[in-house]
Amino acid sequence: SFTVQVNVSNMGSATNLSITNNVGAPSTVVSATGTYTAGPFPVGSAAILTLVNSENALCNLALGSFINSFCAVEVTCGEPPIEASYCYDDSDSEAWLYQNTGSESLALLFSAGSIESVSFDQLVIYDGVNNQAPVIWQHTGGNEQLAGVLAISTGTSIFMEMSSDNSISCGAGSTQITEWFWTVGCLDCTQPVSTYEVVLDCDSSQFYIATNITSLGSDTTPTITNTGGAPSIPVSSTGTYNVGPFLAGATVRVDVVTDENSLCSVHSPFLT
């Protein structure tokens, strides 16, 4: 549940007021100026509050609509990022709210997991405290691997929610849909900047991924890793690095990994 704190700074002409709501919770009696607690209201319910003047309804004051759908997970800058996981089920719906105690942006980075086609299952990450905030990232295609998905807030909050249909899920034991793992922390660093291009070596039935790093970010010695089993490449300057080789037909993601803060790492799309 949640409550709403109402600060009554002036009684107007009334000797008694009441704070009413549309949710069915008892009204709160106001007999003097001060701070009053309205509620409790069920989580997920929009409580429309009104400060009612019993002597004259024309003097009522609409206080607005209030909702607190989810209790926030507090993120403290300077401490290790928060690790989380979720294995979603059939006919599931869930949401997560992360809020920073400081002023830095938050970053949410997936390290593993998959989701069924958006025709059946949805996942959206928002730049704020609820699903009315701007969208940072959302699942839009077919079955998708989530590893490498990175969402960065402009403010101090990130809200993520998912829903699924009544079949094919991690919780139901599907081999197609795997458990989600992600990390959330303060983005107190600058990300490197890189682009990627597939370079074919058809004579050898293999390919490379040319990784062009145009900025090192705040970590001056990142490392280029990959999901295809090729050697990692230490980086000390901007430039183009050929990652590979990989067998023709393989699907590979390249990661530019920073040691100072894993949330500042950047990731290519899956390339083949």
C-alpha distances out from residue 15 to 20, 28, 29, 54, Å: 16, 14, 11, 9
What per-residue confidence (pLDDT) applies to 69?
Answer: 62
C-alpha distances out from residue 216 to 100, 213, 228, 236, Å: 26, 7, 23, 8
What per-residue confidence (pLDDT) applies to 157?
Answer: 93
What per-residue confidence (pLDDT) applies to 164?
Answer: 94
What per-residue confidence (pLDDT) applies to 72?
Answer: 84
C-alpha distances out from residue 214 to 8, 237, 241, Å: 56, 9, 11
Bond before 245 cis per omega within 30 degrees: yes
What per-residue confidence (pLDDT) applies to 261?
Answer: 77
Side-chain-facing half-sphere of 146: CA atoms under 13 Å? 29
SS (H, E, C) 76-94: CCCCCCEEEEECCCCCCEE
| pLDDT < 70 positions in the chain | 69-70
Supply the DSSP string of 21-68, one letter for each residue. Answer: ESSSPPPEEE-SSEEEEEEEE-TT--EEEEEEETT-GGG-EEEEEE--
The pairing of strands 2-8 and 180-186 is: unpaired
Supply the DSSP string of 115-126, one letter for each residue. Answer: E--TTT-EEEEE
Residue located via tokens 């909050």: 157
Separation CA 9–CA 55 (nearest Å)? 19
Separation CA 61–CA 57 (nearest Å)? 9
Residue located via tokens 């291009």: 197
Structure tokens given for 112: 């593993």
Separation CA 233–CA 81 (nearest Å)? 25
- Give the contacts of 258 (CB within 8 A, at least 6 positions apart): 189, 191, 192, 217, 218, 219, 222, 264, 265
Separation CA 78–CA 61 (nearest Å)? 43
Separation CA 252–CA 191 (nearest Å)? 21
Sign of the dihedral through C-alpha 234, 240, 243, 245: negative
| Digit-coded pLDDT (tens) for 126-165 | 999 888 899 999 999 899 999 889 899 999 999 999 999 9
